[in-house]
């Protein structure tokens, strides 16, 4: 099958959050299964180009019809982690992808509408006809509309368009001009309140719609979870599916992780050896972070600091951990200045505390070290479409504490209260997004860590044995790629 993925992020070269990981993991699995996969991305100036192999510019350019003008684009090709990636490089005065950041500009809807139109122009002008065009989030919301109303009529053949919603909080609200410039017809249904909505347009016109966990697919169909789109999603529920994300174990895997000073895995090592290895990595990390070196429970969070992630509960977890004699590592960065400032103040407050380290940056290296060195990961999200960090943590034998929402509820079962089989009980879960909620779970976890060594060791052992690879989710996507529609 010829499958083209169009996205705004791709790990490890252009990563803001989980979307980037999902693209890499899914595309890699599809390639392993023998499919012909091409990934199309904007040619961002801020990408990590050192991780693109054989980056070459095509001699031929192509044209995008935009705002009644013809705009020229360069095309680049390269290999990322062995996968074929095509980059679209607009030569317009707007310098859409030469901004230093991936997102956060007032004209973001214009930037990605331009990119969306350009993808279809590229496929058409290069005579490429994918069996499946798989698009991701609002950034490509105009593709299904443009395909149906403009490109399909002028000869572009795309077998089907599958759209995945990774987070319904981001919908691409915009003015009419975005649709006009892209040449996409406007319909009253695309309006929401007083804004046009790019995600809505995509939902209506795509052939198949998915989101990233079964539980989230139900939540977004409710008024509380749908962020204004619940009714529309209920209307289209016959084409709407929830497929849990996987984890790319060729990247997130303590047995081969290149960021770790020592590797470990259950094949060839027993659980006690693993505990000792994790402790050595912890001691190394403690030294590096200026924390007291010793066998304190190491709790942490690796996250974008945005309201969705339960900012208050992250802070409460930090305070409580210290109160209980543990150590806390917060690795987070915020696109929102007020939240960034709030955490900078917290950082100053704990500057000299030997049990707290707050790192306010995006740091891949440190994230791997924490997953390996840590004992407990907190993910107290207010909502979470799937969540990857809890799954990564399990693979590294670090126990997740999560709020019962979205994909967190699909993947983590409380060790004390779940009715699932014991093998599936893999963490601590709380419901209420408040101090009592996070304390109840954190206190139980700390108590187990300090006072019930065998139970904790068994829990770590079970976590290490779980499998959240991409094999199964990729099969589910393949079923949708070829399902009768």
Nearer to ligand ADP, 121 or 137 (CB): 137
Please, which residues have CB within 8 angstroms of residue 391's CB and are 6 or more apart in sequence? Answer: 245, 247, 411, 468
Fill in the DSSP letter of residue 429. Answer: E
- Using the minimum distance from each CB to ligand ADP, give the nearer residue, 240 or 252: 252
Binding site for ligand ADP (CB under 6 A): 17-19, 21, 302-304, 331-333, 362-364, 367, 386-389
Instruction: For ligand ADP, give the closer residue by CB, 47 or 158.
Output: 47
Q: Which residue, 249 or 456, is less far from ligand ADP as judged by CB?
A: 249
Could you tell me the smallest distance in angstroms from the CB atom of residue 333 to ligand ADP? 5
CA distances from 357 to 86, 298, 326, 370 (A): 40, 11, 12, 11
Query: Smallest distance, Å, CB 83 to ligand ADP?
Result: 18
Min. distance of Cβ 389 from ligand ADP in angstroms?
A: 4
Least distance to ligand ADP from the beta carbon of 438, Å? 18
Sign, CA dihedral 362-366-369-374, equals negative
81, two tokens: 């982690």
Cβ 11 to ligand ADP, closest distance in Å? Answer: 8
CB of 160 to ligand ADP, least distance (A): 26
Q: Reduced to 3 states, what is the DSSP secondary structure of residue 218?
A: helix
| Cβ proximity to ligand ADP, 332 vs 397, nearer residue | 332
CA–CA gap between residue 276 and residue 244 (Å, rounded)? 32
| 49/305 Cα distance (integer angstroms) | 26
- Minimum distance from residue 95 beta carbon to ligand ADP (Å): 26
Given a contact cutoff of 8 angstroms between Cβ atoms, the answer to whether 281 and 312 are in contact is no
Compute the least distance from the CB of residue 50 to ligand ADP, in Å: 18
Residue 291 DSSP label: P
- In Å, what is the CA distance from 62 to each residue of 74, 76, 349? 7, 12, 54
Closest CA to 36 of 76, 86, 71: 86
Q: Shortest Cβ contact with ligand ADP: which residue?
A: 18
State the CB neighbour count (10 A cutoff) for residue 295. 11
Nearer to ligand ADP, 124 or 303 (CB): 303
CB nearer ligand ADP, residue 203 or residue 386: 386
- 116: three-class secondary structure by DSSP: helix
CB-nearer residue toward ligand ADP: 73 or 167: 167
343-357 in b/e form (b: 16+ CB < 10 A) is: beebeeebeeeebbb
d(CA 260, CA 396): 11
């Amino acid at each position: 099958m010829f499958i083209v993925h169009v996205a705004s992020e791709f790990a490890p070269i252009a990563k803001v959050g989980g979307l980037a990981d999902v693209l890499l993991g899914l595309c890699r699995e599809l390639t392993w299964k023998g499919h012909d996969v091409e990934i199309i991305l904007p040619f961002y100036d801020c990408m990590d180009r050192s991780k693109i192999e054989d980056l070459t510019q095509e001699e031929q350019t192509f044209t995008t019809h935009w705002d009644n003008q013809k705009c020229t684009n360069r095309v680049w090709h390269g290999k990322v982690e062995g996968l074929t990636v095509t980059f679209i490089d607009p030569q317009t005065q707007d310098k859409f992808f030469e901004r230093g950041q991936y997102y956060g500009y007032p004209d973001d809807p214009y930037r990605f509408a331009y990119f969306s139109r350009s993808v279809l122009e590229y496929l058409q002008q290069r005579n490429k006809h994918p069996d499946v065009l798989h698009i991701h989030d609002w950034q490509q919301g105009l593709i299904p509309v443009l395909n149906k109303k403009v490109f399909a009529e002028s000869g572009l053949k795309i077998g089907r368009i599958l759209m995945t919603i990774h987070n319904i909080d981001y919908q691409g609200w915009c003015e009419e001009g975005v649709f006009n410039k892209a040449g996409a017809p406007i319909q009253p249904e695309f309006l929401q309140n007083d804004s046009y909505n790019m995600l809505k347009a995509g939902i209506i016109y795509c052939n198949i719609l998915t989101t990233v966990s079964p539980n989230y697919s139900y939540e977004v169909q409710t008024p509380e979870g749908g962020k204004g789109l619940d009714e529309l999603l209920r209307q289209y529920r016959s084409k709407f599916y929830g497929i849990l994300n996987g984890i790319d174990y060729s990247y997130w895997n303590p047995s081969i992780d290149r960021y770790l000073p020592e590797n470990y895995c259950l094949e060839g090592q027993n659980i006690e050896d693993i505990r000792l290895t994790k402790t050595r990595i912890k001691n190394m990390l403690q030294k590096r972070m200026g924390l007291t070196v010793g066998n304190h429970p190491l709790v942490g969070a690796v996250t974008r600091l945005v309201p969705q992630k339960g900012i208050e509960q992250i802070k409460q977890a930090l305070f409580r951990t210290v109160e209980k004699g543990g150590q806390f590592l917060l690795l987070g960065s915020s696109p929102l200045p007020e939240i960034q400032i709030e955490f900078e103040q917290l950082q100053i407050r704990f500057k000299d505390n030997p049990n707290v380290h707050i790192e306010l940056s995006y740091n891949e290296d440190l994230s791997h070290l924490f997953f390996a060195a840590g004992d407990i990961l907190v993910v107290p999200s207010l909502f979470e479409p799937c969540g990857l960090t809890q799954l990564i943590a399990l693979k590294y034998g670090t126990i997740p504490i999560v709020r019962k929402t979205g994909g967190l509820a699909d993947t983590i079962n409380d060790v004390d209260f779940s009715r699932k089989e014991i093998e599936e009980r893999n963490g601590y879960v709380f419901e209420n997004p408040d101090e009592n909620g996070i304390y109840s779970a954190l206190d139980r976890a700390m108590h187990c860590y300090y006072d019930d060594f065998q139970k904790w060791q068994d829990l770590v052992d079970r976590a290490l044995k779980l499998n959240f690879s991409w094999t199964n989710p990729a099969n589910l996507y393949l079923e949708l790629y070829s399902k009768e529609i």
